[in-house]
Each structure stands twice: as structure tokens, then as C-alpha cells.
Amino acid sequence: MTALGSLLNAEEQARARRLRFEDKRRSFVAARGILRCILGRYLNLSPQQVEFSYSAQGKPELAPLHATELRFNLAHSGNLALVALACARPIGIDLEQLRPVEAMDQIVAGYFAPAEREAFQRLPPEHRLWAFFAAWTRKEAYLKARGEGLTLPLDQVVVTLSPDVAPRLLEGGQGPTGTAPWVLLDLEPAPGYRAALAVPGPVGELAAWQWPASG
């Protein structure tokens, strides 16, 4: 962890120190350090030479000085982190560790669209936790790809959530998206985790790698 922490710049190290819990701090440092290693390999730079800029909504991007069409997004939860990369188009990824959600019904009522709430209530109780995290990760991945964060309310992003229905964006905050090119993909990066990827389609080749354990 010390080796990865040494790759972070002063702002990132200060941000890590502000995190209250040690596990959160360790996850942040590991995720940002590995992100720098991955981006450095693509840019043919050392990890410390990678510089970021931030959108008005706080989404990190590669600084303009890198003059690249490489786009990325980062998500981490529990002991896992995912980095998504694309060329010349936005990309978003979200990751959640599966766990009981005590206030699940209240969250669905407050943050899901009416059509999603109806679909959720029609599911058998044993399928609802799966559907909750499927919908949440799909929504978040799409919002992260657009770079708007929670400036666009979650209930304005409508996705499919039933286990027997393919992941699809039904509405993206700007009216029905039946002809929009956004593609949602479900991922299961490890047992006990759910993830989703959002990218303007169509999706061509999709490849995945695992970071070396020694990293």
C-alpha cells in the first residue's frame, strides 16, 4: 500500500488523509495508485506523470496536456476496484458489494422512477435485492459516463431491472431513449459484487484484465 500511495500527488494524498476510516483510505489509495499505473502504461508515462483535470461536476479526466482521446472511469467498493477505458467516447462504470439494505423499500420509493418501482414491486421478494443493485449500478454507470453525477436525479434515469430482462436504458433524463446509442452491460467481477458499464454504442470488442496481485 505504501508503494501505491507514493504514486499519488499531493491533492490525492490529502484527500486520502481526510477519509475517516482506514479501510476506506486504503481502498482509495489502492484504486488511485493502480489507476495511475494503468493510465501511465497507455500514455507511456510514469504513474506520477499522469495529470488529471476535473469537470464542473467533479468527474476526473486526463488533463489536456496529455492530448489523448483515452477516456476512463473508476469505481471501487469493498475490496474491489474497476477501471473502465474507452477511446474517443465517454464511459462510466459502477460497482457495488452485495449486502443487505435495511431501507431498500424507502430508497426505491425515493430514487427510482415510477415504472421502476412498479417493476420492482412485481418481483418475488427473493429477487428484489438483485434487482435493486442491478438498477442502482446501471443508473450510476450511465450518470458517471455523462459526467453529471447526481445533478441529474436518479428517478429521471429509467432502466430495466428484472432478472429476465436484458439491461437497457429506457429513459436518460432527456425523454425516451429508444433511438439513443447508449448501451448498458452487466458485469460480475467477483462473487458477491455487481457492476455495470455504460457507453455510447454500439459496443465492439470488450476485453477485461485483472491487475497483478503483486501490484
- DSSP letters, 147-173, are T-GGGS-GGGEEE---TTS---EEEES
Q: What's the rounded Cα separation, in Å, for the pair 166 and 157?
A: 16
Query: What is the reported pLDDT for 206?
Result: 82
Q: What's the rounded Cα separation, in Å, for the pair 27 and 25?
A: 5
Contacts of 121 (CB under 8 A, 6+ apart): none
Q: What's the rounded Cα separation, in Å, for the pair 170 and 6?
A: 43
Count CB-CB contacts under 10 A for residue 29: 23
Please give the CATH topology (third level) of the domain spanning 2-89.
Ribosomal Protein L22; Chain A (3.90.470)
Q: Give which of 163, 102, 169, 159 is closest to 135, Cα–Cα.
A: 159
Cis status, amide bond into 189, omega within 30 of 0:
no
**Where exactly are the structural domains of the chain?**
2-89, 94-200
Q: All 3 cell numbers of residue 41?
A: 502504461
Contacts of 118 (CB under 8 A, 6+ apart): none
Pairing of strands 169-172, 157-159: antiparallel
**Full pLDDT tens readout for the chain, 215 residues:** 468 989 999 999 999 999 989 989 999 999 999 999 999 999 999 999 999 999 888 889 999 999 999 999 999 999 899 999 999 999 999 999 999 999 999 999 999 999 999 999 999 999 999 999 999 999 999 999 988 766 788 899 999 999 999 999 998 866 444 445 789 999 999 999 999 999 987 777 788 888 874 44
Q: What's the rounded Cα separation, in Å, for the pair 78 and 27?
A: 8
Determine whether domain 94-200 maps to CATH 3.90.470.20: yes
Query: What is the reported pLDDT for 6?
Result: 93
Q: What's the rounded Cα separation, in Å, for the pair 215 and 209?
A: 13
Q: What's the rounded Cα separation, in Å, for the pair 178 and 129?
A: 27
Burial call 187-212: b when 16+ CB within 10 Å, e when fewer: bebeeebbbbbbbeeeeeeeeeeeee
